[in-house]
Structure formats: C-alpha cells, structure tokens
Amino acid sequence: ALVECYAANDEPERIRMYQTNFVGMVLPRYKLRTELFHIGMKGGCMLVKGVTSKVGGDPVLECTAKIEQPTTAYVFTGQGSQEVGMGMELYKQSTAVCDVWDRVDRHMVAKYGVSLLKIVQTNPKELTVHFGSNAGEELQRNYMSLTRRRSGDKGKVASLFPEITLDSSSYMYRSPTELLNSTQFTQVALVTFALAAVADMRTNSLVQKGAAFAGHSLGEYAALAALNSVFTLEDILDIVFFRGMLMQSAVERDDQGRSQYGMAAVNPSRLGCGIDESVLTLAINAICERSKELLEVVNYNVRDSTLSLEHCVSCRVVFDGVRANSHEYRMLLKPLLWVCHNFRVVAYLRYCNNFELHLSSLPLRYLDELELEARSTYNYSKLSYLRYSTHLLAREITVFLDERTVYSGEALEMISRAPYDGCSFPLARKITFLFVKDTTDRMGNDFGFDP
C-alpha cells in the first residue's frame, strides 16, 4: 500500500513488478518504520526498494518494485538556446555522449572540413576549409554540388556556395558574432546536443518507453532523430546543416558575413516603472520616422514583458471572457492555492488532506523574474543546477489571476509545469485557472494577499 501510495502516486497501474520478502518476526505491539528508496532505473522504469524495520531494531520485511514513470513528454528547443561549451561537461563524463559528439565531428570534418567540437568549444569568428589535398578535392566537389532555388528569380537553381569554384584553394566561414551563432553551425550543434543528451539518458535507462515527444522549429528535427530514429545521425546532420545554410543565405551578406538586418529581444518592464509595450511602440515609430529605415516588432511573447524579433512562434494568447462567479468561488476547496497578480506569485498551502512528499522541480528561466516569496507553508530553495526544489506538492492546484492583466499561454504554462529531470514528478494532476475581478477584495481576508 505504501509503494502504491507514495512511489506510484496512487496509480497502481504504474506498478510493473512487486516482490516481498519477510526477513524477521513481528509480534503484537511492535512499532514499525517503513522507508522507500529510489535505487535506480531500468527500461525507463523506476526501481524502488522498501524496508520495514522495528523502531530502533532489525528489518522485518524487504520489498522491491518496478514502477513506470508518470506519463512523460520530451520537448526539444529551437534555435537560440546555444552557448559556448554546451554539452562539454557531460562530454567528459559520459561515454555515450562522447561517442555521439565524436561521431558527429568525424562526419562534419569528412564532409564539410569543419570541426564542430572546435566551434562549440572555442567559438571562433573565422574558420578555413582547405581544398589542396585529395580529401580537400572531395570536399570541394561536395560544396559545389550543393544548390538551392532562388525565390526571387523564378525558382532558378543556383549554387549554395557560389564563391567555391574549381579554381578555389580554400573557403572561409566568417561570422561577426562567432560561428556558433552562424545558423548552419548553430543548428547542427543544437541537434547534436539533443542526440547526445538522449543517448546519455538511454544509457541510464531514463527514457520512458512510448513517451510523447515534440519540438519547436529546429527541435522538431531533433525530436525525430533522438527519440524516434527517423534519421540516421549522418542524415540529420546533413539535413540541418543544409537547412541552416539556406536560412543563412536567405539575405545578402558582405565578405565578413554581415547583412543589413538584425534581431533583438526587448523587455520593456526592465526599463523601469511605466515603460510598457505602448511606450516601446512610440519609440519604434519615432526611430522609423527619423531614420526612414525598417524597424518593427514581429513577435510578442509575454504581454508587457518581452517583445521579440527572433524566429519563433508567437505565444501571445489572450484569455477573454473567463470569469469566476460566486458558485465557482465556493468550489475552490483545493489542496494548494496559488495567487498571481501581475506576474507576482505568492503560494499558500490550504486544505492539505491530499499531498505528496518528494523532490520536484520548477523551471527557473521565468521564475527568476517573478519575485517569489517564501512562506512557512511553502518552502523552496535554489539549487546549484538552477532549479527550485519543492518538498510538499499538492495534486490539485487552483491559480487565481487578476482579470485586469493579460496572461500569455507561455506564462500560464510556466506556472503549471514541472519538467521531468530524472528524479522529479509532475507538479499536479489538475490545474484550474480562475480570473477574478479584484484579488484584494476577494482574497485579501482569507489569504493575507497583498498585491
């Protein structure tokens, strides 16, 4: 019963194997203590060991169980998450990761004359491919065979590397922002990072069989290659390298690799009180009027928080028409209540008759900006690997949102998710978002909430 309740979260269907051994005698009035240990992983399942002992005495019962993970989805990011040295710490520690990176590097050197490891580790601004040797001649022919259709010239086929001819002795890659940020290498590096990470997880039996997977933009390719084996490693490298080159050559560049276009991500709220999207829009319009050049917002992330010019799908979702009436308010007896006002989050535990004790985690990329407050009923700590560790989590959550504030889908997802990191569980089974007209009047007395 304890294994079912605490290790399987009251989901007995997740228990794949269970074995019990009685190793001692139990007499009436003995006080017993039971401990459960997560001792490892096998085939994507958790291995749990349980020991029941006399208080202050010897064990009387031992058990082992094999438990399926909670339903897990693996999500892969798109371009923009790259950084110098990414994956290199695990490269030094994991044989599986080392094998993936080394295999990728051999392929990139043999087919394109470029060491991906060198780019990830040192991030140079320039890198030269030489065509002098027999291997170089093969590289030269490969580069000359790469073509694309020009959208502005009635679909005419053109060379992807027009600078490379039979008379070329070398070719130099250049990027004013270092080569790791040059799209063709960025995409190869990110896909390799994903492949290596999944390889390490498989080696440690962490990948759940039959799990869902998804990716954003470039992450779609990484997901298919890493978890579904749709592509061979060499095939996916060629695909994303060619995809990156097409994107890199979409606009004209000078001999230093520079184009007349730029990208930026802007957070108006960081500029000070009263600076919001409308103020930034006025500034953009003024710049356009004076410079007579193109400058515009092409992507919104969180309303009044981040305006992005990066290549990504907008997640600006406005939730209209959602209201909490008196009947709904009376039904709010949930184990854990979160109160949110203008992205300031304060958490309270109420009606805790249905909770779990274990280690779980929340993503930090957003929470660092949310001014989280520690309360006696909700403790969190910032760990060295940049996650918040919570030790008491309810299975149901109600989140109160001020209806005067527009919340994006990304913001709501941030509040509700807790990614699996090898030892954590989903944050809750059910999450309810309620929009209320006045958080102070409706909840100030009950929860001590001061927006």
330, 381: one domain: yes
In the chain, the number of structural domains is: 4
For residues 175 and 163, give the distance between their C-alpha atoms in angstroms, rounded to a whole number: 16
At 392-419, the pLDDT tens digits run 333 444 455 555 555 555 555 554 443 3
At 224-263, the pLDDT tens digits run 999 987 899 999 999 999 999 988 877 777 777 677 777 6
211, 123: one domain: yes
Report yes or no on 65 lying in a domain.
yes
Q: How confident is the model at residue 98 (pLDDT cuts 50, 70, 90)?
A: very high
Q: What long-range pairs does 325-333 form, CB within 8 A, spacing at least 24? A: 328/434, 329/436, 329/442, 332/398, 332/434
Give the bridge partners for 344, in sequence order.
341
**Beta strand pairing call for 126-130 and 170-174:** antiparallel
- pLDDT, position 405: 53
Report yes or no on 120 lying in a domain.
yes
Q: How confident is the model at residue 220 (pLDDT cuts 50, 70, 90)?
A: very high
84, 59: one domain: no
Report yes or no on 277 lying in a domain.
yes
Q: Say if residues 295 and 284 touch (Cβ distance below 8 Å).
A: yes
**Beta strand pairing call for 212-215 and 73-76:** parallel
pTM of the full predicted structure?
A: 0.60
Nearest Cα residue to 255 out of 312, 173, 159: 173
Q: How confident is the model at residue 379 (pLDDT cuts 50, 70, 90)?
A: very low
Report yes or no on 257 lying in a domain.
no
The share of the chain scoring above pLDDT 90, in percent, equals 36
Separation in Å, CA 388 to CA 40, 151, 179, 308, 361: 23, 48, 33, 27, 5
Give the bridge partners for 380, in sequence order.
390
Give me the torsion for CA of 175, 177, 181, 185, rounded to 10°. Answer: 20
142, 60: one domain: no
Find the domain containing 418 and state its range: 326-447
Of 139-143, 149-153, 249-253, the range with the lowest mean pLDDT is 149-153
281, 331: one domain: no
CATH number, domain containing residue 8: 3.10.129.10
- pLDDT, position 354: 33
Report yes or no on 321 lying in a domain.
no
**Beta strand pairing call for 396-402 and 430-436:** parallel
pLDDT averaged over every residue in the chain: 71
- Residues composing the chain: 451
Q: How confident is the model at residue 444 (pLDDT cuts 50, 70, 90)?
A: very low
96, 240: one domain: yes
* Residue environment code for 100-131, b if the CB has 16+ CB neighbours within 10 A, otherwise e: bbebbbebbbebbbbbbbebbeebeeebebeb
